[in-house]
Amino acid sequence: MTIETSGTVSAKDIATCFQDLSAGHTRYKQGLAEHHQDSKKDREKFADHQTPRICILACADSRVPPEIVFDQQIGHMFVLRVAGNFADDDNQASLEYAIQNFCPPPAIIVVLGHERCGAVKAAVETFDPDPKNSKPHRTHPSPRLKALVTRLKDAVEITKPPVSPTNKDEYEKRVDNAVRKNVEINVDKLKNNEVIQQSGAWVVGGRYDLDTGDIEWLTPTPNQLEIKLN
């Protein structure tokens, strides 16, 4: 089967986009954001087209808005958000759309998880409950919510500790290990996607710290593998 894309990504594309992403996050952390101030101008500029070079698969959590966290303007990022930031068929199809229709195609795809993720915690409470430290659901989960939590089951089971947590700190660490593994699992899924592979886009996973605003990269970045701008 021949897979069509709108183009292929170069090493320079990858390095430039990751540099832009990192610089934007630094501005955000320092309180020096440059974008979101002139939204009328940006809206008019991109009203009839879009060519985002960065894709983000992020959690739906209200405290982790990617456009703000990476200080990017309208039209610069193609953002997918779902509780638990998982790459199911629908989310992969959206990324394939971006690669096959935007010219030039996206160069970077980020899977962004975060500290104290409620979806991952719900998965831990469902598939590895600990009566001493976990809290019961405030409401009975709907069938669709149960299905969503099931998408995170692998991360919970892979990181299950040999001994159950004995206190709140250990339990939070157990949840955070599942958060990290969930990012890694979904990075691997996207790396194995045929359309993404053919485009040459770089897939990277990170964990956002709600307390500090830091992003810890959990999988290799272009910088770590010494992809240069020339």
Q: At 85, which CATH number?
A: 3.40.1050.10
| Strands 215-217 and 108-114, bridge-based pairing | unpaired
What is the mean predicted confidence (pLDDT) over 20-38? 89
82 has pLDDT over 90: yes
Indicate whether 24 pLDDT > 60.
yes
- Cα 55 to Cα 142: distance, rounded to the nearest angstrom: 30
DSSP 73-140: -TTSEEEEE-TT----HHHHHHHHHHHHHSSSPP-EEEEEEETT-HHHHHHHHHHS--TTT----SSP
Model pLDDT for residues 162-183, shown as the tens digit of each residue: 888 888 899 999 999 999 999 9
Is 209 within the bounds of a domain?
yes
Mean of the per-residue pLDDT values of the chain: 90
Range of the domain at 193: 11-37+49-116+182-217
Residue 157 is assigned to a structural domain of this protein: no
Q: Is 169 helix (H, G, I), strand (E, B) or coil?
A: helix
- How confident is the model over 27-56, as a mean pLDDT? 83
What pLDDT, on a 0 to 100 scale, did the predictor assign at position 120? 97
Comparing 128 with 80, the larger pLDDT belongs to 80
Check residues 31 and 41 and name the one with the higher pLDDT.
31
Structure confidence at residue 51 as a pLDDT band (50, 70, 90): confident
pLDDT at 212 over 80: yes
Predicted local confidence at residue 229, as pLDDT: 43
Q: Looking at residues 105-120, what average pLDDT do you find?
A: 97
Is 79 among the domain residues? yes
Q: Is residue 19 predicted with pLDDT exceeding 80? A: yes
Is 147 within a domain? no
Instruction: Please compute the mean of the pLDDT values over residues 5-17 and round it to a whole number.
Output: 84
- Tell me what pLDDT residue 230 has: 42
Is 177 domain-assigned? no
Q: How many separate domains does the chain show?
A: 1
Mean pLDDT of 117-145: 81
CB 74 within 8 A of CB 40: no
Minimum mean pLDDT range among 15-19, 40-44, 91-95, 184-188: 40-44
Is 131 inside any structural domain? Answer: no
Counts for the chain of helices (H) and strands (E), in that order: 9, 5
> Is 32 a member of any domain?
yes
What pLDDT is recorded for position 225? 59
At 7 the pLDDT is: 64
What mean pLDDT do residues 112-130 have?
93
Task: Indicate if the pLDDT at residue 15 is higher than 60.
Answer: yes
Position 19 in a domain = yes
Backbone angles phi, psi at 99, to 5 degrees: -70, -35
**pLDDT band at residue 151 under the 50/70/90 scheme:** very high
